[in-house]
Amino acid sequence: MKKIISTGLAVAAALSLVGCGGGSSSAPQSGIGYYEDAAIEGVHYQCGNKSGETGADGRFEYQIGKGCTFSIGKTTLGGRPAAVFGGGKVHIQETNKGVLILLAGFDLDADPRNGFQIDIDAAKAAMGDKELDMDEGIDAATRDGLIEDYENEAGDKYKSRDGIDYEALDTHLQDRLKGFLGGKTFYLVRKGVLKKAVFNSDLTLSELYICGGGEKESSESHFENGNRLVFEDGSYLKVKLAKEKYILIQVKEANGHKHYTRLYTKKSDAEAFLKELEDKENGGGQTSGPITQVQLTAALINKHLYRAKKDCNSQMILQELDIKKETVSYLENGVKEFDSASFTISGPVMDIPVGKIDVKLKAIEITKTYIKFIETEYGEHTKTDTQVWYYNKADAQAHPKVKECHGGGATGGAGAISGCHMDGKKLVVDEGKTCSLGGHTAVCENGKIKIDNTFTAGNVANIYGYQFSCSK
C-alpha cells in the first residue's frame, strides 16, 4: 500500500529534518534521501555503493560524498552531484516536466497528489533497451507508446484512465511550490551579499532586500509549466532539493544564465554560509593571491569608500565612492561629480562607465581597513595608478596621496602648459587647443571639453581630481 504524503507534511519534513547516526564516535558513511515530486516509489537509484529501488515515500540510501542517479531500465531520469550528499536527510525534488509526465503515465492509481507508485518490473519491460535522453525530452508519440506498453505489463494493478490529466498534474506541482515557498521568508547569499526574500502566500508577489539596508526589489510572479515560478523580467526559479537548513533552488536569469541558490529559513545560517564563503576565498581578514569576484563584491557592495589627495597647491581633496547594489556615486570635497552610475564586477575588476568613458579599477589587495586598486584602463588609455580607498574617512585623511608636481606649468601659478593654464585649481584649456595632465588629454572644441577623445556634457569635466574647463 502506498503511503500518502500531503503537500504540507512533505514540506514540514523537508524543513524540519534531524541528523542521522547513533552514539558511535565514527562518522556515518551513508545517509537517507527521498526522491520526490510527491513520493516517487519504485525507481532504481545508484548512489555510490548504495543501490536499489526507491521505497515508500521515495526513500533511498546514499553513500556520503558520492552522487546519485535515478533510472528506469537504461534510461536515466535525473541525478544530483556528490556535493548534495554530505550527510543527514536530503529531499530531492524532480523538476523535469518530461520525467514527471512519464511518471504520471506510469503511476498505478493515476493520482499525482499522493505520489507516484511505479511497478518497476512492468516499467523495465516497457522501456526495454531504450536509452532515452530525458533532458532533451521525448516526443508525445514515444511517451504514449511507453505508457501503453507499461499498462499491458502492469495488468490489473494499473488503473485505467483517459490519458494524463495535465491540469491536475500542473495544479499538484503548483501546490508543491506553494508549500515550499508560499508565505515564507528566506535568507540567501548572492554575489557575496546577504539578502532577504519574502514570498506571499499564493506566490503572486515576491520581494528581495539587501540585509542591512538598500533598496527593495518587488516583482509580480506567476506559474509556468507547473513547476516554475516566473518573474516579471522573464527569470524563473525551480526547487531542486530540501535539506535541514535550506532549500536549494535553480534560478534562470533573464539573460539565460543559470545558477543555484540556497534559501535559508534562519538568517544566522545564511550569515554562517556567507562567512564560510568569505573564509574560503580569502582565509579571513586579508586577501592573499588573486582577488576573486566574490571577494571584491563583498568588499564593495553597500560600502562608502574614501581617498585623500593633495594637489600641487598642497590643498586636500577628499574623494568618495558611495557604492550601492548596482550603482556608484563619486563625490569630490562633498560635491557629486557623477551620481548613480552603473557598474559591473568581473573577477578582480570594477568597471564604471562614466559618460562614454569606461574606468576600470583592478583590485590587488583587500583588508578590513582599505581596498587597493590599480587603475588599469581609462577610456582608450591604459595606465598604472595605484589607488588606496579606505572604509574610514579619518584613515584616508591620515594617508593622503601627494601629487607629484613638476615645474613650469601645473604648479599652482598661472604658468602655461602647451595650450592651457592653471586658474586656481582649474585647468583651463584654450579654444581649439590640446592639453595633457595626469595621463589624460583635454581638447576644447566649440566651447565643449573633450576628454581622451570623448566629449563631456558641458564645458567643465572633473576626472578623479583633475578639473578641465574650456576658456571663455
> Which of the 8 DSSP states describes residue 194?
E
Instruction: Tell whether 277 is covered by a domain.
Output: no
Residue 170 lies in a domain: no
Identify whether 127 is part of a domain: yes
CA R_g for the chain: 31
Among residues 357, 375, 402, which one ends one of the domains?
402
Average pLDDT (428-452) is 72
Of residues 466, 404, 472, the one with CA closest to residue 436: 466
Average pLDDT of the residues of the chain? 78
Confidence of residue 15 (pLDDT cuts 50, 70, 90): very low
From the CB of residue 275, how many other CB atoms can be counted at a distance below 10 Å? 12
**C-alpha atoms less than 13 angstroms from C-alpha of 178 in its C-beta half-sphere:** 18
Same-domain pairing of 119 and 67: yes
Q: Kind and range of the H or E element at 13?
A: helix 7-15
Cβ atoms of 337 and 330 within 8 Å: the answer is: yes
Q: How confident is the model at residue 403 (pLDDT cuts 50, 70, 90)?
A: low
Q: Nearest-5° angle of CA 143, CA 90, CA 3?
A: 60
> Under a CB-based contact definition with an 8 Å cutoff, are residues 87 and 104 in contact?
no
Residue 2 pLDDT level (bands cut at 50, 70, 90):
very low
Domain coverage including residue 337: 296-402
pLDDT, tens digit, 9 for 90 and up, residues 419-436: 566 665 567 777 777 776
pLDDT reported for residue 440: 62
Q: Are 346 and 393 in a shared domain?
A: yes
Does residue 40 fall inside a structural domain?
A: yes
**Nearest-angstrom CA–CA distance, 352 and 343:** 5
Q: What pLDDT, on the 0 to 100 scale, is given for residue 268? A: 93
- Cα(250)–Cα(269) distance, integer angstroms: 19
Measured distance between the N- and C-terminal CA atoms of the chain, rounded to whole angstroms: 92
Mapped onto helix, strand or coil, the DSSP state of residue 451 is: strand
Domain match, 16 and 158 both = yes
Instruction: Say whether both 157 and 18 belong to one domain.
Output: yes
Domain CATH code at residue 333: 2.40.128
Number of domains in the chain: 4
Whether residue 21 sits in one domain with residue 113: yes
Query: Of 57-61, 230-234, 338-342, 346-350, where does mean pLDDT reach its minimum?
Result: 338-342
Do 328 and 398 fall into the same domain? yes
Last residue in a domain, options 345, 373, 402: 402
Question: What is the C-alpha separation between 133 and 131, in angstroms, rounded?
Answer: 7
- Does residue 26 have a pLDDT over 50? yes
Instruction: For residue 342, name the pLDDT band (cuts at 50, 70, 90).
Output: confident
Instruction: Quote the Cα angle for 324-335-322, to 5°.
Output: 15
Residues 122 and 12 grouped into a single domain? yes
Whether residues 398 and 424 share a domain: the answer is: no
Q: Rounded distance, CA 16 to CA 18, Å?
A: 7
Residue 274 in domain? no
Q: For the segment 292-313, what is each residue's pLDDT rounded down to a tens digit?
A: 888 888 889 889 999 988 765 6
Q: Do the domain assignments include residue 249?
A: yes
The one-letter amino acid at 468: F
User: Of the candidates 164, 192, 212, which is a domain's last residue?
Assistant: 164
* Residue 150 in grid coordinates: 507499461
Please tell me whether residues 27 and 150 are part of one structural domain: yes
Residue 245: which region, alpha, beta or left (left: phi > 0; alpha: psi -120 to 50)? alpha
Chain center to CA of 60: 31
What does the pLDDT look like over 36-94, one tens digit per residue? Answer: 887 899 999 999 999 999 998 899 999 998 999 999 998 999 888 888 898 889 999 88
Q: What pLDDT is recorded for position 378?
A: 58
Residue 120, pLDDT above cutoff 50:
yes
25 and 109 assigned to the same domain:
yes
Out of 137-141, 276-280, 350-354, 370-374, pick the least confident. Answer: 276-280
Residues 303 and 392 placed together within one structural domain of the fold: yes
**DSSP 3-state assignment of 250?**
strand
Whether 247 is in a domain gets the answer yes
The answer to whether 319 and 330 have CB atoms below 8 angstroms apart is yes
Q: Which of 442, 457, 425 has the alpha carbon at shortest distance from 339?
A: 457
As beta bridge partners, residue 280 has none
pLDDT in tens, 170-215: 888 888 899 999 999 999 988 778 899 999 999 999 988 877 666 6
Give the distance between the most distant pair of CA atoms in the chain: 102
Same domain as 72, residue 158: yes
Q: At 72, which helix (H) or strand (E)?
A: strand 68-72
**Banded model confidence at residue 359, pLDDT cuts 50, 70, 90:** confident
Judged by DSSP in three states, 295 sits in helix
In a domain, 132, yes or no: yes
**Main-chain phi, psi angles of 371, to 5 degrees:** -120, 135
